[in-house]
C-alpha cells in the first residue's frame, strides 16, 4: 500500500561512521525533494531523538546543505552509540520526539546495532522504519555490500602497501590488525588483494585450534625467513586474539625466535573520501529508501544483490548468517600452499 501522504522523513546516522554516509543522506534529501517531502536530520544518532527536548538536535535539511557532501567521509549529522536506546524510557522518549515533530518515517543509516534499535522502536512508534546499511564491516545479511566497506578495504590496502615497502627494506615481519568486529570480510579481501603471506581470521583460525595453529604458523614464518630475503606480512582480524596484534606478535616472536612487529590500522579504515563504488551504492540506496517509504514499505533494510535493489526484513538483516566467500578462503589457502612449496 502506497504512502502518498508522507510529508516528513527523519534521518540519522548511528554507530560507527562509514565512508559514504554523507552520500546516502544527500540521496535521501534529493529524492525526498522530488516527492515534495521534507527531511529532518537528527544529530548524534539516536541521541538526537532522545535529547531533542533539552538541546537543539535536529534541523530541516535543505538542498543547499547537501550540495557538496558526496565526496566527504564521516557524516555531517555526526554519529554516536546510544545506551539509552536499550531502555524502555529511552525508546519512549525517541518515539515521543518523532510524534511531536510530526515525522511520518524514520531512515537510519548504520549497522546491526542501529537496526536493532529500529526493531525495538517499532513497539513504541507506528511510523515507517527503514534501514540503510552503512558499516565498513559488511556483516549485514541480505546485501552483497554495505556502504563504506569498499573504501575501508582500499584504505587498508594502501596502508599495507606502504608497510610492505618498509618490511622489504628491512626484511621484517609485520602483523597488521584490521577492523571488522567479528567479521572477516575486510581481513580476507585486504589480505588477498595486498598479497599478504598469511591471513588470520575467524574463518580459518578458530579458538579451539589457535594454540596448535600458532605453532605451525611460527614454524612457517621461521622457514620462510631462512629461505628467502624479503618481507613477510600477516593480516589479522580484530578480536581474534586476546590483546590483539600486539600480544599475538609477542607470542609469535617467542615461538619462532624472530622479531614480529605489530601494526594496528584502527580507525584510519573508517575515514577518508568514499571511493566511487561506495558513492554509487549510497546514492542508489538513499533513493531506494525514499521510494520504499512512498510505496508504503515498513520495517525493512535496503539491500543490493547482483546490482539489483531488494527490501530485506530488518529481523533478517541482523541474523549474522552472512559469511566470507568460500572462494576467497580457498584462494588464500591455495596461495599459501604454493608459497610454501616455492619459497619465492
Q: How far apart are CA 92 and CA 88, in angstroms?
A: 6
Q: How far apart are CA 101 and CA 327, in angstroms?
A: 49
Q: Which of 112, 137, 139, 141 is catalytic?
A: 137
- Please give the torsion angle defined by the CA atoms of residues 65, 68, 70 and 76, in that order, rounded to the nearest 10 degrees: -50
Identify the CA nearest to 242 among candidates 265, 215, 214, 216: 214
Neighbours of 91 (CB within 10 A): 22
The angle formed by the CA atoms of residues 27, 32 and 37, to the nearest 5 degrees, is: 155
Active site residue 137: yes
Q: How far apart are CA 297 and CA 16, in angstroms?
A: 26
Q: How far apart are CA 81 and CA 236, in angstroms?
A: 26
Determine contact, residues 143/133, Cβ cutoff 8 Å: yes
Cα separations (Å) of 289 from 25, 103, 157, 193?
Answer: 10, 15, 31, 32
Determine contact, residues 244/200, Cβ cutoff 8 Å: no
Determine contact, residues 153/166, Cβ cutoff 8 Å: no
Neighbours of 190 (CB within 10 A): 26
Active site residues: 137
Amino acid at each position: 500500500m502506497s504512502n502518498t501522504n508522507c510529508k516528513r522523513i527523519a534521518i540519522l546516522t548511528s554507530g560507527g561512521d562509514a565512508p559514504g554516509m554523507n552520500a546516502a543522506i544527500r540521496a535521501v534529501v534529493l529524492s525526498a525533494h522530488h516527492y515534495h517531502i521534507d527531511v529532518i536530520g537528527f544529530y548524534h544518532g539516536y541521541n538526537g531523538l532522545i535529547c531533542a527536548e533539552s538541546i537543539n538536535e535536529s534541523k530541516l535539511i535543505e538542498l543547499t546543505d547537501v550540495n557538496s557532501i558526496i565526496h566527504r567521509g564521516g557524516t555531517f549529522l555526526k554519529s554516536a552509540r546510544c545506551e539509552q536506546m536499550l531502555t524502555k524510557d529511552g525508546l519512549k522518549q525517541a518515539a515521543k520526539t518523532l510524534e511531536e515533530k510530526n515525522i511520518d518515517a524514520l531512515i537510519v543509516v548504520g549497522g546491526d546495532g542501529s537496526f536493532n534499535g529500529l526493531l525495538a522502536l517499532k513497539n513504541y512508534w507506528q511510523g515507517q522504519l527503514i534501514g540503510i546499511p552503512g558499516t565498513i564491516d559488511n556483516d549485514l545479511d541480505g546485501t552483497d555490500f554495505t556502504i563504506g566497506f569498499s573504501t575501508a578495504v582500499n584504505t587498508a590496502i594502501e596502508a599495507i602497501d606502504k608497510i610492505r615497502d618498509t618490511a622489504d627494506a628491512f626484511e621484517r615481519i609485520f602483523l597488521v590488525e584490521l577492523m571488522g568486529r567479528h567479521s572477516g570480510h575486510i581481513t580476507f579481501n585486504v589480505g588477498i588483494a595486498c598479497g599478504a603471506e598469511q591471513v588470520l581470521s575467524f574463518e580459518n583460525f578458530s579458538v579451539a585450534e589457535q594454540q596448535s595453529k600458532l605453532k605451525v604458523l611460527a614454524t612457517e614464518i621461521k622457514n620462510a625467513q631462512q629461505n628467502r630475503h624479503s618481507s613477510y606480512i600477516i593480516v589479522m582480524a580484530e578480536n581474534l586474539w586476546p590483546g590483539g596484534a600486539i600480544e599475538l606478535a609477542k607470542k609469535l616472536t617467542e615461538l619462532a625466535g624472530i622479531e614480529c612487529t605489530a601494526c594496528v590500522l584502527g580507525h584510519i579504515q573508517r575515514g577518508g573520501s568514499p571511493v566511487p563504488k561506495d558513492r554509487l551504492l549510497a546514492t542508489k540506496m538513499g533513493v531506494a529508501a525514499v521510494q520504499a517509504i512512498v510505496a508504503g514499505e515498513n520495517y525493512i533494510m535496503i539491500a543490493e544483490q547482483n546490482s539489483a535493489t531488494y527490501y530485506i526484513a530488518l529481523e533478517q538483516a541482523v541474523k549474522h548468517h552472512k559469511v566470507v566467500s568460500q572462494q576467497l578462503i580457498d584462494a588464500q589457502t591455495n596461495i599459501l600452499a604454493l608459497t610454501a612449496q616455492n619459497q619465492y
